[in-house]
Amino acid sequence: MAEPFHRVGEQRGPFTVTEVTFDVLPGGRTREFVRDSGDNYATTFGWDDDREYYQICQREGNLLVPYTIRHKMTEEGVPSSASWVYVGNSPYDYWRVLVEWWKPREFTIIEHDVKASPEVFEEFAICPHHWCTFKYSNHSEENAEAWKYGILGCTRFSAYLIKHVPNALKDLDWRYRDWHVLSTGLGMELRNAGFEPHLHGIVDHHRMMDRGGVAQLMQ
Ligand SMILES: [Zn+2]
């Protein structure tokens, strides 16, 4: 069943949510109204859609490339053993793929707008931390700090971490199963379990700019 995204008392940017109304309309549409302590308000329409888990892939190997577009630069950055898994059939497929991959063996994610390099994989292979990530090349230091808790583009999870929170993805809050907010939701789960991300160097976040940019392409 559909749930509102916002909750009274939670943060909304720098403000606190003070009011939420949520309706399921005829035809399965949803309407959410939110107001915050800065007296900002918004109405958002959505769908009471299927966000249950069902299997859409099988985990193969230790390197996942979830994609909607196969970009040459991304291809150049990963070894041929990478598992490319299409996630473009619904906004929740990325989450379903991660549920399948969340087995107690370490793995790395390289998203479709990131160009990795051999050094990335060498560093991940020898790092003793449990949740490792590279900064995006287009992020400032402040951006990188703000994003580090919710970034999946070039990230490695250890077997220890996955064993420690085996249901972090399967039981992820309904509202965080959409790919737009998936990394934020998972990041919160992992921090609640006591894990902190370990920041490595910088990875090329090419964002498919040669093809108009990922923001345009994903519309
Ligand atoms: Zn690390």
Q: Give residue 43 CA to ligand 1 midpoint distance, Å.
A: 40
Q: Is it true that domain 63-217 has CATH number 2.60.120?
A: no
pLDDT 10s digits, 146-163: 777 888 999 999 999 999
pLDDT number for residue 219 = 63
Helix axes of 93-101 and 179-192: crossing angle, nearest 10 degrees: 40
Lowest mean pLDDT among 44-48, 73-77, 106-110, 159-163: 44-48
Q: Give residue 147 CA to ligand 1 midpoint distance, Å.
A: 16
Q: Give residue 148 CA to ligand 1 midpoint distance, Å.
A: 12
Helix (H, G, I), strand (E, B) or coil at 219: coil
Q: Give residue 123 CA to ligand 1 midpoint distance, Å.
A: 7
Q: Give residue 107 CA to ligand 1 midpoint distance, Å.
A: 13
Q: Who surrounds ion ligand 1 at CB < 5 A?
A: 127, 129, 132, 198
pLDDT number for residue 149 = 81
Q: Look up the pTM and report it.
A: 0.90
Examine the pLDDT at 212 and tell me if it is beyond 90.
Answer: no
Q: Give residue 28 CA to ligand 1 midpoint distance, Å.
A: 44
Measured CA distances, 105 to 17, 68, 130, 156 (Å)? 39, 25, 11, 11
Residue 16 near residue 9, CB atoms below 8 Å: yes
Residue of higher predicted confidence among 50 and 144: 50
CA 83 to chain centre: 17
Listed as own residue / partner, the contacts of 82-88 with beta carbons closer than 8 Å and 24 or more positions apart are 82/110, 83/59, 85/57, 87/179
What contacts 19, CB < 8 A, 6 or more positions away? 8, 33, 34, 35, 41
